[in-house]
Chains A and B, each alone.
Chain A
């Protein structure tokens, strides 16, 4: 993103931006679902991100990484809304069970719903890297750019997230080391990774 409005912005840039915006929506919704867990909240986040991106389109540097720009907007919006509302970043397990409405597909004995539910038991910092790197194939460097941390931090979060998710999918929550306990409806604390 540039600091100020792009003076060279014209109808061609507008049309190109619109095309990119439409094309990236599936990825945005997927990332939002990973962050929020709940379907409604994720759809709200995706729409909010699209609106914000459109409003700020003239600050987008043409030729730069559009996907990273969009994911950054979404991520910032997500954490801002969490801070403002004081809500937990980890949804309740029942909500996680309702994450997907599509029919389950099976891969080596794993249901997609199981993966979605297990994912929501991880800290947000691990969920976001797993959704970026693991689910969407974003490179470590690009993920680090989106999150604003070192590449090594992304790698370690992916490794820890994968290990915890694997444990959870095996039904070993005690050993997952990332399951957060909700206490009396109070906001759950984010696990802070070593940066």
Chain B
């Protein structure tokens, strides 16, 4: 089996000088969204949650909770 052309790759000299290491690319988030944009999206999602959570409860839910409360109270007595 012939030796691959890039067999000597691992023997290549790696940069060890501090200035070379400083030029190494910084880690990038895997979603590709700029941090500011990601922050805006996260904030918007939280606002969406807050908006829905603050909406008044519908009548059906209020009745259901009253019914459950009565049963829970009955169980506690």
Q: Chain A residues in contact with chain B, CB under 8 A? A: 11-12, 14-15, 17-18, 21-22, 25-27, 29-30, 33-34, 43, 46-47, 50-51, 54, 100-102, 105, 107-108, 110, 112, 115-116, 119, 130-131, 134-137, 156, 159-160, 162-163, 165-166, 169
Contact = CB atoms under 8 A, between A and B. Distances in A.
A47 B46 CA distance: 22
B40 to A, nearest CB: 5
Nearest to A168: B41
- Nearest first, the 6 A-B pairs at minimum CB distance are A26-B53, A135-B49, A159-B31, A18-B72, A134-B45, A11-B76
A105 B51 contact: yes
Contacts of B33: 162-163, 166
Interface string B11-52: 000000000000000000111110001101111111111011
A29 B52 contact: yes
Given A22-B65, A107-B47, A162 B53 contact: no
A43 B44 contact: no
B49 to A, nearest CB: 4
Size bin of chain B's contact surface: 35 or more
A111 to B, nearest CB: 9
Contacts of A100: 48, 51-52, 55
B16 to A, nearest CB: 34
A112 B44 contact: yes
Contacts of B42: 134, 162
Given A47-B60, A105-B51, A14 B38 contact: no
B64 interface: yes
B57 interface: yes
Given A25-B61, A159-B31, A15 B44 contact: no
